[in-house]
């Protein structure tokens, strides 16, 4: 007689039930009025802080509240479209979380999700830090297009860094859409190499290192907010005294962003004598654009490989300076300050470093030999400095809007010394302005001493020397103030 064991009867197959609708949002953070998701609260008003897990979406889209009397479920009614994949992943992996929300007429509005150690469940790659890293990336991304309802675009989160294969894999699952298409495909291939037992340990190490570098860069779109011309002028005035035509030309170049919301087609090439503030202008432009900045010092680059990186076939291979600059900045939109561009053609290795810069400056994408992947450069704004533009090749010059930085006149140097350089030094040394006085003929003597030098660096050093001498006399000779005469200045600065 046959025996039937009903305990092992296969469960009846059920169709996954989706209870929610998605909504588009580009909010940079969540509140109870603009939540991440909304849960049904018709049967019960949920506590402000509630613990539990999201259910596996294969069965039903809901959240299981873990309470003293047991587990109670509530359906998900609405989700910010950027977070659909994250919520699905949390459910599939049964990650214990704590929700923070508020009961409102439309439901329990969740504005914060944190991982908790509860009941020995699955833990994330780096516990709550990793979850917050992904949430920050998703908040920083734009609302997805109608056709891409699963995942999104990119930005950075917390101080968390993706280094382990597990954390990189989890990030690709939850926020892979934040990466450009070509980088997402590249990442999948490198993940396969990093996890493969059929390649050497060296190849796996290189693949994991490359993935870590690429995943920790915020890959932003190339939309730029308008700049305020008055604020831009204020920043330039704080950085540079006089030179009205130079400031006007700089603002005219970058204000194109207000109409196009993209970076200008040409970068800036600041040409002028040493010490005239070219680098300071570059930093000021980065501040105006509200972008991080990084520097490339062409005088110290002798081989193109320093810029392009070395192939992974070598055991000591590493990325080039350009890719490392992206990594240090942490995002793809940044200002590249290329110092001493006129030294770029003086390569001593296997090629000309200046030629490598052309691909970076064209904004068509840059390929690093170590990464073996084209990096988008549409968000890179180059600002170069040079002393002698005759040493720069015509192809490089054609990529820039050239702005000549003239030397300061004697009258401008007087103002810079008396109103900027000397007060700054006195403040740093703790001296009052009436303790160190340099006026009239003494000031003329300072300017005359450095009449043949360009820029204001020598003036700043002179201010340092004179202030230090005044401080010495006040501390040692116990005088109350030092009034410099032209003879004293000439004697000290000889």
Looking at residue 329, its pLDDT comes to 85
Strand, coil or helix: 124: coil
From the number of C-beta atoms within 10 Å of its C-beta (0-12, 13-18, 19+), residue 402 rates as middle
- What fold does the segment set 410-493 form as a domain? Helicase, Ruva Protein; domain 3 (1.10.8)
Distance CA 440, CA 461 (A): 19
For residue 221, the model assigns a pLDDT of 85
How, if at all, do strands 366-368 and 334-339 pair?
unpaired
Residue numbers in the chain where pLDDT is lower than 50: 1-13, 147-158
Alpha-carbon separation of residue 422 from 121, 179, 240, 433, 448 (angstroms): 64, 50, 16, 9, 17
Task: Give tens-digit pLDDT for 132-182.
Answer: 888 988 988 887 765 433 333 333 334 556 778 888 888 888 888 888 899
pLDDT attached to residue 104: 92
User: pLDDT for 339-384, tens place per residue?
Assistant: 888 887 655 556 678 778 887 887 778 889 999 888 888 889 999 9
C-beta separation of 326 from 367 below 8 A: no
**pTM greater than the 0.75 cutoff:** no
Instruction: Note whether 344 and 357 are within 8 A (CB).
Output: yes
**pLDDT of the residue at 15:** 59
Burial category of 28 from C-beta neighbours within 10 Å (exposed 0-12, middle 13-18, buried 19 and up): exposed
CA distance 436 to 443: 12
What per-residue confidence (pLDDT) applies to 102?
93
CA distances to 97, 114, 131, 169, 172 from 127, in Å: 11, 9, 7, 15, 17
CB-based contacts of 448: which residues, under 8 Å, 6+ apart? none
Question: What is the tens place of the pLDDT at every residue in 237-271?
Answer: 888 887 888 889 999 999 999 999 999 988 999 99
- Tell me where in the chain the CATH 1.10.8.60 domain(s) lie: 410-493
Distance CA 376, CA 366 (A): 7
If you ran DSSP here, which 8-state letter would residue 164 be given? S
Q: Determine the pLDDT at residue 456.
A: 79
- Given a contact cutoff of 8 angstroms between Cβ atoms, the answer to whether 45 and 59 are in contact is no
Contact 391, 342 (CB under 8 A): yes
Q: How many Cβ atoms from other residues are within 10 Å of residue 487's Cβ?
A: 11
Q: How far is CA 395 from CA 14, 221, 355, in A?
A: 65, 28, 9
> Encoding tokens for residue 164?
């382990």
CB 383 within 8 A of CB 270: yes
* CATH number listed for the domain at residues 229-404: 3.40.50.300
- Answer yes or no: are the C-beta atoms of 367 and 309 closer than 8 Å: no
In the chain, CATH 3.40.50.300 covers 229-404
Check residue 157 and give its pLDDT: 39
């Amino acid at each position: 007689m046959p025996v039937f064991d009903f305990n092992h009867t296969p469960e009846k197959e059920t169709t996954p039930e989706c209870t929610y609708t998605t909504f588009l949002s580009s909010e940079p953070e969540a509140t109870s009025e603009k939540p991440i998701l909304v849960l049904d609260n018709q049967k019960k008003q949920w506590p402000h802080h509630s613990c539990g897990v999201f259910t596996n979406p294969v069965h039903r889209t809901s959240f299981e509240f873990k309470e003293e009397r047991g587990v109670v479920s509530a359906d998900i009614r609405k989700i910010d479209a950027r977070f659909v994949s994250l919520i699905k992943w949390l459910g599939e992996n049964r990650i214990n979380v704590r929700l923070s929300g508020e009961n409102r007429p439309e439901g329990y509005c969740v504005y914060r999700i944190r991982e908790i150690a509860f009941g020995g469940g699955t833990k994330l790659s780096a516990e709550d830090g990793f979850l917050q890293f992904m949430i920050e990336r998703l908040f920083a991304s734009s609302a997805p297009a109608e056709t891409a309802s699963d995942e999104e675009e990119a930005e950075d989160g917390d101080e968390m860094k993706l280094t382990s294969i597990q954390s990189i894999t989890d990030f690709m699952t939850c926020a892979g859409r934040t990466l450009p298409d070509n980088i997402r495909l590249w990442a999948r291939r490198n993940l396969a190499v990093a996890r493969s037992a059929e390649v050497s340990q060296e190849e796996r190490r290189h693949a994991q290192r490359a993935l870590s570098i690429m995943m920790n860069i915020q890959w932003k779109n190339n939309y730029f907010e308008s700049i305020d011309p008055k604020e831009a002028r204020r920043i330039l005035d704080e950085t540079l005294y006089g030179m009205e035509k130079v400031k006007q030309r700089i603002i005219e170049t970058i204000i194109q962003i207000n109409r196009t919301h993209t970076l200008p087609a040409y970068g800036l090439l600041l040409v002028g004598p040493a010490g005239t503030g070219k680098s300071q202008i570059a930093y000021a432009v980065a501040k105006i654009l509200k972008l991080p900045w990084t520097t490339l010092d062409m005088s110290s680059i002798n081989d193109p490989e320093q810029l392009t990186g070395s192939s992974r076939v070598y055991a000591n291979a590493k990325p080039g300076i350009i890719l490392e600059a992206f990594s240090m900045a942490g995002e793809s939109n940044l200002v590249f300050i290329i110092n001493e561009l006129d030294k770029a053609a003086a390569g001593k290795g296997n090629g000309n470093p200046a030629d490598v810069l052309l691909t970076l400056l064209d904004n068509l994408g840059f390929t690093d030999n170590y990464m073996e992947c084209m990096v988008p450069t549409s968000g890179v704004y180059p600002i170069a400095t040079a002393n002698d533009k005759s040493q720069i090749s015509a192809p490089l010059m054609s990529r820039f809007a050239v702005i000549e930085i003239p030397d300061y006149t004697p009258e401008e140097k007087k103002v810079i010394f008396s109103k900027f350089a000397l007060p700054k030094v006195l403040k740093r040394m703790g001296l009052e302005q009436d303790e160190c006085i340099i006026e009239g003929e003494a000031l003329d003597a300072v300017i005359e001493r450095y009449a043949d030098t360009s820029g204001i660096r020598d003036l700043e050093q002179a201010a340092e020397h004179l202030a230090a001498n005044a401080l010495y006399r006040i501390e040692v000779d116990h005088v109350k103030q030092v009034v410099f005469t032209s003879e004293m200045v000439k004697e000290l600065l000889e």
